Amino acid sequence: MTDSIGTTAFDAKAALVTLLNGAADPGEPLAGVDIWYSYQGASMEMPREVVWLGEVDWIDETAVSLGAMKRVEEYEIVLTVEVHRPGDTQEEANARIKSMFQAVEALLRQRNPLGLPDIESCGIKPKIWGEGRDADGRGAILVSKIRVRARI
């Protein structure tokens, strides 16, 4: 069992940051992208490319009574990808956000991507895609949810 307070969510969010930071190293798919544990400021103060994690929303919890008392929990962690680069067209901003999201999706498709023993499954689903103009050009935001299922 992971070291958590009745849930794996704290450990899962921390593991996600570690996983994403590994992909932000030079030569990796998210090279140069800032990775944040949580939202850190208004869009005008944000880096040009950022991935940040947000709220955790519990979906379901089920008791499992085979031997030791265990339960299955399901929750979603918000993941936001933002791109705001000077001079980009909307198509360029959209292409970059697409490649960043695909890199995150590829990481989560690995077997046990979070490296936590209690996690049974982990996947990602896009929820909202926004695009528009900022002071320096065009930008794009893709909000998604990472769904986690754990047996604790």
CATH number belonging to the domain at 9-151, selected among 3.10.28, 1.20.120, 3.30.2000, 3.30.43: 3.30.2000
pLDDT at 45 over 80: no
What tokens does 149 get?
Answer: 């299922």
pLDDT in tens, 1-10: 444 458 999 9
pLDDT number for residue 3: 46
pLDDT number for residue 40: 86
Q: pLDDT: is 120 or 46 the higher one? A: 120
pLDDT number for residue 4: 41
Comparing 37-41, 61-65, 92-96, the range with the smallest average pLDDT is: 61-65
- Mean pLDDT computed over 76-104: 94
- Tell me the residue length of the chain: 152
- Closest by CA position to 1, among listed 150, 113, 115, 118: 118
Comparing 40-44, 80-84, 130-134, the range with the smallest average pLDDT is: 40-44
- Mean pLDDT computed over 48-72: 82
Using DSSP, state whether 94 is helix, strand or coil.
Answer: helix
Indicate the domain borders of the chain: 9-151
Q: Distance of alpha carbon 128 from its chain centroid, rounded?
A: 14
CB 127 within 8 Å of CB 144: yes
Q: Phi and psi (nearest 5°) for 103?
A: -65, -45
CB 109 within 8 Å of CB 10: no
Strands (E), 32-118: 34-36, 49-64, 70-84
pLDDT number for residue 66: 62
- The identity of residue 15, as a single letter, is A
- Mean pLDDT computed over 3-18: 86
Q: pLDDT: is 6 or 120 the higher one? A: 120
pLDDT number for residue 1: 44
